[in-house]
Amino acid sequence: MLSTIAGLTAAAAVLAAGPAAPRDHQGYGETKLTLSYLADAGFARAVKLECDPAGGGHPQPDQACAELARVNGDAGRIEPGHSACFLIYAPVTAEITGTWHGATVTWSHKFGNICEMRRATGDLFTF
């Protein structure tokens, strides 16, 4: 009788907590992101990225997910590359929205041009 009451109490606690967030195969919450950029000149691009397992419409999902994993999903912490960019001002705003291991992500940054954006964000915006 006592074990039945304990079992019902545990079940009630689980139900009161509500449904759990979706989990991927590694025990993290799901990762579903939209990566996009909009140039002041008027053109835009966007792509979906999923991680664990890597997928979506991104042309290099494994590399993009690995880049985000190195910075725990914070694109602002990516170490910029050392490639040279032309000093032509053609502003572009990059955005990442969605979920990273179940946590909401909203990131945006304006760069001087596409080359600077790609240098600063590694493999994320190579589409």
Residue 14 lies in a domain: no
Residues facing residue 52 across a β-bridge: none
Task: Identify the CA nearest to 30 among candidates 55, 57, 51.
Answer: 51
Residue 96 lies in a domain: yes
Q: How far is residue 104's CA from residue 122's CA, in Å, rounded to a whole number?
A: 21
- Contact between residue 58 and residue 64 where contact means Cβ atoms under 8 Å apart: yes
Rg (CA), the chain: 20
pLDDT tens-digit map of 30-77: 999 999 999 998 989 999 999 999 999 999 999 999 999 999 999 999
Residue 77 lies in a domain: yes
Residue 10 lies in a domain: no
Range of the domain at 86: 21-121
Q: How many domains does the chain have?
A: 1
Q: How far is residue 95's CA from residue 105's CA, in Å, rounded to a whole number?
A: 10
Residues facing residue 56 across a β-bridge: 49
Overall average pLDDT of the 84-113 stretch: 96
Note the pLDDT of residue 17.
43
CATH number at residue 28: 3.30.350.10
Average pLDDT, the chain: 84
Residue 9 lies in a domain: no
Residue 29's pLDDT band, with cuts at 50, 70 and 90, is confident
Note the pLDDT of residue 14.
35
